[in-house]
Amino acid sequence: MSFSAGSPAQLGYRMPAEWAPHRGTWLSWPHREESWPGKFGPVPGVFAEIVRQLVPHEEVHINVRDGAFEAAVRTVLRAAQVSAGNVFFHHNLTNDAWCRDHGPCFIQRRVAGKVEEAIVDWGYNAWGGKYPPFDDDDVIPTRVATEFGLPVFHPGIVMEGGSLDVNGRGTLLTTESCLLNPNRNPGLSRETIEQFLRDYLGVTHFLWLGDGIEGDDTDGHVDDLTRFVDETTVVTVVEDDPGDPNYKPLSENLERLQKMTDQDGRPLEVLTLPMPPAMYQDGQRLPASYANFYIANGIVLLPAYHPPTDEIARETLQRCFPTHRVIPLNSVDLAWGLGSFHCVTQQWPALMA
């Protein structure tokens, strides 16, 4: 199927892979205490540690509601000994902190030897209307585009950043359980959704997985399951315990991946990551997954939950990223919000010559 006339893809835009060089990382500073019921206290400190790890390598852009909130966040960062030189604040109202899903999706094209960027502003409805209000989050991409004078494209359908992963060469990973869920885009077929992704991200080849992990309120985001680590290699989480509810869906996803190819027909290289032991908070299974890592310039932020499995995941990813330093950071407190480092970050690709 071809790109639609006048679409970003037809204009030459594509979405770069996450490991492409970054200008920076976007965050939306946490403030919604009910997202971490009874356990919000440690969360700003976790965000401060994310910023501390990122600032030596790239800019960090943080959405805050106003000047007073910015001052409060600066105090938190100073207490965490974060260098402020690479941190930039933007007074944008947000409903919550999950910038992967509501933040700007950057696309790029090359025109006359120059790289240009634009933003795709997908619709956002807090994972099928689960957590209203979400109106402030929904307009973040356009606010960012306006501030930086960038073109912005509005597909008119709901799509979250955590629901897809690209290899930068035309292949996109996603899940049926999320993208085909009627709480996002009722009435749209798989083929129609694929056409939107072709038109707005410049992809040409689709890899569909099945169900997500237990406790994931996003209906199965792929960034808790399977991630590209280079153009032809993916890592995917597996559960070894046949009695665990995650065993069957993760085994089925692995079987699918082992039969899949990239956009050029080459079989994928499939590596596995363990799952940490089942984690619960107030009787609720948490979607703790090592697939929710974030790739930045020179480092990979790996959620850490359980030292023995943390080390297996770190070693695996270190082999995948030999020029990066894989940094395990404790994500137990963050996981009570039902997400981790990839969920709260959004990359800003650099304009490479």
**Residues noted as catalytic:** 343
Distance CA 16, CA 166 (A): 7
Q: DSSP class of residue 99?
A: H
Q: Alpha carbon of 150 to those of 20, 90, 104, 142: distances in Å?
A: 20, 16, 11, 9
Q: Alpha carbon of 263 to those of 170, 196, 214, 223: distances in Å?
A: 6, 18, 30, 20
Matching residue, tokens 């991630």: 227
Distance CA 188, CA 115 (A): 33
What phi-psi label fits residue 5: left (phi over 0), alpha (psi between -120 and 50 degrees) or beta?
Answer: beta
Matching residue, tokens 């690479």: 86
Distance CA 76, CA 87 (A): 13
Are the C-beta atoms of 274 and 237 separated by less than 8 Å? Answer: yes
The total of other beta-carbon atoms located within 10 Å of residue 66's CB is: 10
Sign of CA dihedral 44, 49, 52, 53: negative
